[in-house]
Amino acid sequence: MSASPVTLMVARRVASGRYHDFNRWLNEGRELAADFPGYLGSGVLAPPSHDDEYQIIFRFSSSKTLHAWEHSASRSAWLVRGKGLYDAPHEHRATGLDAWFQTASGHTPPRWKQAVAVWLAFFPISLLFQWIFGGVLSDWALVPRVLASTLMLTPVMVFVFIPLSTRLLSPWLQGAWSLSDICKRATNHI
């Protein structure tokens, strides 16, 4: 079993008229997972307005900790309580950086698109960090300065901004939009 973090991605289609019950059940499952050793986080990607398939992501510190949660009595009971709220799920496991970008079908965008999505998350946060803390850290030696900045930025990037970037850029990452579509969409929201 892997000692690297592992992401379980599950696609579930909500049964007709059961959105409220499904969301309540889903939040219960995320709270349940959070109580397990090795839990690193979870997220839900809601479907576009014309679809009903939710993407649910659970991340654990290793295959062993994910396995313990997946085969627990409490998760089994939770799945039983969810019967009738969704159609048969599709599950996929991923490790490493690809876990942020892989769809439930296993498709991963090209590395250059992954790099753009990470950079788009990293640049504004790094700029903001330097603007706020740059003056304080400027007198520090190189190694402590880089150590402090990476210790503060890495969790924010991993748990907030890279998932946000990949969610916002998902249509482009999966080939549904071009860069010009994204620019038009961004200017419409400004």
- 133-149: per-residue pLDDT in tens? 888 888 988 888 888 88
Domain boundary among 101, 128, 154: 101
**48 in any annotated domain:** yes
Both 78 and 135 in one domain: the answer is no
Both 47 and 72 in one domain: the answer is yes
Share above pLDDT 90 across residues of the chain, in percent, rounded to a whole number: 12
* Res. 1 pLDDT band, cuts 50 70 90: very low
DSSP 97: T
Domain boundary among 47, 73, 101: 101
Mean pLDDT, residues 156-165:
79
Confidence at residue 186, expressed as pLDDT on a 0 to 100 scale: 62
Both 151 and 88 in one domain: the answer is no
Confidence at residue 175, expressed as pLDDT on a 0 to 100 scale: 74
Q: How many structural domains is the chain composed of?
A: 2
Contact 156, 125 (CB under 8 A): yes
Domain boundary among 83, 101, 119: 101
**106 in any annotated domain:** no
Both 125 and 154 in one domain: the answer is yes
DSSP 4: S
Mean pLDDT, residues 77-101:
73
Confidence at residue 2, expressed as pLDDT on a 0 to 100 scale: 46
Contact 120, 112 (CB under 8 A): no
The residue that leads in pLDDT, 47 or 60, is 60
Domain housing 49? 6-101
- The two tokens of residue 190 are 């400004």
Residue owning tokens 């839990």 = 39
Both 136 and 169 in one domain: the answer is yes
**1 in any annotated domain:** no
Confidence at residue 68, expressed as pLDDT on a 0 to 100 scale: 92
For the chain, the maximum distance between any two Cα atoms, rounded to a whole number of angstroms, is 61
**161 in any annotated domain:** yes
Confidence at residue 95, expressed as pLDDT on a 0 to 100 scale: 57
pTM over 0.75: no
Both 95 and 127 in one domain: the answer is no
Share above pLDDT 70 across residues of the chain, in percent, rounded to a whole number: 80
Quick check: 53 pLDDT over 90?
A: no
Both 117 and 66 in one domain: the answer is no
Quick check: 77 pLDDT over 90?
A: yes
